[in-house]
């Protein structure tokens, strides 16, 4: 009864363990969660006020499918200021209910059945299902701990075929925290230009970055015309539940995405769009403060993980995840995550949920209090030393 397309899409491999952790918590067990994929801060007050005001003023109706023009203008200004790219707010920008919807619309708009989509492995859990729903073929490009999980042009080139249409990149990366620097992006751009590959660049963690500057691949020569840059408000402004994101790219692709959006979700919620203007145009101290807190936590969690015997953890340059190698304890990350949930009462995500290259690793989110981080890692270390 269910279509072949949807049958193919598997539920997230993390559901089991998160359901188990939830059940344990409900029974009153003291479970520490290092599994969250969202900031633990409240949305800044001035953004909330803009939403209340919009509702009070009756801004409660459908908007243009592409989003209200004031927000698209604010996004265009943001791209110019932060990323050094000029996008026309009328033709080259779409506002979406979350970055996830923008990614989905870009993939549906570009991928024909059988087209190959290159995805660096480990990969964020929704890319492959989205490609499957478009009946495309996901082709994995391995990234390695030894290279800090950066996508390298050499490995990328090996995976290019005549059927390659799109490359998805995500920097800073979920789950590895890897950041692609200027030189990395230059090498990747050259391959995309030489092989006529379109790029979907997921930059949702742009502002959660610690030691280096974020670069958008669309700002490189000859890349703007082949790149759809996806971003949003969830992570930078702690607005995951608000569902607000956007994409910018060539007008013909944005137009196609608007078509998909207008026939599916219509538009991002009207008053949430008004709050988005306040986020982009208001004070940015909140973004910096959250970033500083995440950096302190990153330094702590990475140090503690590297202090565990036989564990190695690459220092993540961005996002809020540590991705340590626990393969000396168990090569099966699902088994190890279950063991740690039962024995240490710590919930985390098995690296295998993010693809073959993630096997043997665990994803620990540090979007939680310093106290939870310290106690969580202490418990992991104790459980491994006792039973390891």
Ligand X SMILES: Cc1ncc(COP(=O)(O)O)c(C=O)c1O
Q: Which residues bind ligand X (CB under 6 A)?
A: 37, 98-100, 124, 170, 174, 202, 204, 232, 234, 240, 245
What is the rounded (10 degree) CA torsion for 223, 157, 126, 147?
A: -100
CB of 43 to ligand X, least distance (A): 13
- Written as six digits, the tokens of 21 are 């952790």
Which CB, 205 or 210, lies closer to ligand X? 205
Nearest alpha carbon to residue 268 among 26, 54, 23: 54
CB of 208 to ligand X, least distance (A): 10
Which CB, 122 or 329, lies closer to ligand X? 122
Residue 322, strand partner residues: 364
Which CB, 100 or 207, lies closer to ligand X? 100
Rounded Cα distance between 365 and 319, Å, is 9
Measured at the CA of 273, the angle between CA 270 and CA 275, to 5 degrees, comes to 120
What 3 state SS string does 47-68 have? HHHHHHHHHHCCCCCCCCCCCC
Which CB, 240 or 372, lies closer to ligand X? 240
Q: What is the CA radius of gyration of the chain?
A: 21
- Distances from the Cα of 159 to the Cα of 156, 214, 330, 345, 374, angstroms: 6, 26, 30, 40, 41
Rounded Cα distance between 206 and 232, Å, is 9
- Written as six digits, the tokens of 283 are 């004070």
Q: Assign residue 266 a region (left: φ > 0; alpha: ψ between -120 and 50; beta: otherwise).
A: left
Instruction: Write down the residue that tokens 């030189």 correspond to.
Output: 183
Which CB, 311 or 317, lies closer to ligand X? 317
CB of 124 to ligand X, least distance (A): 4
Which CB, 67 or 344, lies closer to ligand X? 67
Which CB, 110 or 308, lies closer to ligand X? 110
Backbone angles phi, psi at 285, to 5 degrees: -60, -35
Select the residue whose beta carbon is closest to ligand X and give its number: 98
């Amino acid at each position: 009864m269910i279509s072949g397309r949807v049958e193919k899409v598997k539920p997230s491999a993390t559901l089991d363990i998160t359901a188990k952790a939830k059940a344990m918590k409900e029974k009153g067990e003291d479970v520490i969660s290092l599994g969250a994929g969202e900031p633990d801060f409240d949305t800044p007050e001035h953004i909330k006020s803009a939403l209340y005001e919009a509702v009070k003023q009756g801004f409660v109706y459908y908007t243009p499918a592409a989003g209200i023009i004031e927000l698209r203008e604010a996004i265009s200004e943001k791209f110019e200021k932060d990323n050094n790219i000029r996008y026309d707010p009328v033709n080259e920008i779409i506002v979406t209910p979350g970055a996830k919807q923008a990614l989905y619309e870009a993939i549906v708009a570009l991928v024909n059945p059988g087209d190959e989509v290159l995805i660096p492995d480990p990969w964020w859990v929704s890319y492959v299902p989205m490609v499957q729903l478009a009946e495309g073929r996901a082709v994995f490009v391995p990234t390695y701990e030894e290279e800090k999980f950066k996508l390298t042009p050499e490995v990328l080139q090996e995976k290019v075929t005549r059927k390659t249409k799109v490359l998805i990149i995500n920097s800073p990366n979920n789950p590895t925290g890897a950041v692609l620097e200027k030189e990395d992006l230059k090498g990747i751009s050259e391959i995309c230009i030489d092989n006529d590959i379109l790029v979907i660049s997921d930059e949702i963690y742009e502002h959660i970055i610690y030691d280096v500057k974020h670069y958008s691949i669309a700002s490189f020569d000859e890349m703007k015309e082949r790149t759809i840059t996806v971003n949003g408000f969830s992570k930078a402004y702690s607005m995951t539940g608000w569902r607000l994101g956007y994409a910018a790219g060539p007008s013909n692709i944005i137009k196609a995405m608007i078509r998909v959006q207008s026939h599916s979700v219509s538009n991002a919620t009207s008053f949430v769009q008004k709050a988005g203007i306040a986020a982009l145009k208001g004070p940015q101290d909140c973004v910096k403060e959250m970033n500083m807190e995440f950096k302190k936590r990153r330094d702590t969690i990475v140090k503690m993980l590297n202090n565990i015997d036989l564990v190695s953890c690459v220092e993540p340059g961005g996002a809020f995840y540590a991705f340590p190698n626990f393969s000396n304890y168990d090569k099966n990350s699902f088994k190890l995550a279950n063991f740690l949930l039962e024995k240490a009462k710590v919930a985390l995500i098995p690296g295998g949920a993010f693809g073959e290259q993630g096997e043997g690793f665990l994803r620990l989110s540090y979007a939680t209090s310093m106290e939870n981080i310290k106690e969580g890692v202490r418990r992991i270390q104790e459980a491994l030393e006792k039973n390891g």
